[in-house]
Amino acid sequence: MNKRSRNIDDLLIESLADGQFHSGQQLANEIGVSRTAINKHIGKLEQLQLDVFRVHGKGYRLPSPLQLLRYEKLATGIDQTDARLYLKRVTSSTHDDLKQLLQESPARTLPAGTCVLAEMQTQGRGRRGRAWSSPFGSNLYASFFWPLTDGLNSALGLSVAVGISLAQLLQQAGISGVSVKWPNDVYIKGAKVAGILVELEGQPTGEGHALIGIGLNLKMPSHIAELIDQPFTDVQSHVTGDLDRHQWAIQLINNMRTALLNFSHDGLADMVPTWRQLDHFYGQPIRIILGQHEQLGIGQGIDNHGALLVRQDNGLKRYFGGEISIRAGI
């Protein structure tokens, strides 16, 4: 998509964001293109999973208003640090954007906590390459850059620290029933509300860095539900009143940067008791899936390095990340 096309799509989204009807001619006049071009670009918005109503004699509208994120509003609430913020309307994935930034400038020159925030990802992904549904203008999709000056081994337990911070963010909003699933999911009353993807680049004992991706469901459109193959929920379902996406984005960015800084200084040890309180599977039968193999046991929380502790017939065993998944036991 060329630059002109992107500008038309952005202008069209901004016009329709109020949730009101706009005639094709009105949109054409506002944007400075033909009605035929408007119809073409409406089709492109529908490919972005935006549900656009077309009513003869009235024009086009979205099912409900969109609260588009504005850089200026975000900047006024984010704690002042050297870290940068990049806001994207539509991107392949925020992780890919961070990788592009690293290609353009050495990792040493990218400030810790630099964040890419997007309205939509066309190729959002979770652990083990699974797709992450990323509808436009509904949720929060962010990736953070964090240097690992002591090597990749210093990142052990990083996803656990991020999960705890996300869970506490939800609790601070008055949401009950919040829990965490090792190593990278956050639940509300047993349904997934957020996912974490940590990618490490560098050497085990030399300098490296982490890319921390977060997807937080704020208000999932109903027409997207059929595309999701697991129980899920969103923040809006557990709070009263309309969400302020700017405030949620600001709190997410501030909390993540603080959590990453604390983790770098203090490690995970002080968070282990908090994890136990939040652990979705603590004391519960679980299945540990390692590729084509399974192990059964009772969840016992985590150790000081973020490893999963499982009570099995032959004693207490530790499991680290990678290709391990856990499910409720039978």
How far, CA to CA in Å, does 37 sit from each of 8, 32, 43, 94? 9, 10, 10, 29
Considering the candidates 192, 219, 245, 257, report the single residue annotated as catalytic.
192
Q: Which residue has the tokens 């908090």?
A: 274
The Cα 286–Cα 65 span in angstroms is 42
Whether residue 130 lies in the annotated active site? no
Neighbours of 265 (CB within 10 A): 7
Asked if residues 91 and 121 have their Cβ atoms less than 8 Å apart, the reply is yes
The Cα 189–Cα 176 span in angstroms is 8
Asked if residues 220 and 227 have their Cβ atoms less than 8 Å apart, the reply is no
Helix %, strand %, coil % for the chain, to 5?
A: 35, 30, 35
Considering the candidates 127, 181, 219, 257, report the single residue annotated as catalytic.
127
> Which pair of structure tokens corresponds to residue 152?
């990749």
DSSP state of 61: E
Catalytic residues: 127, 192, 327
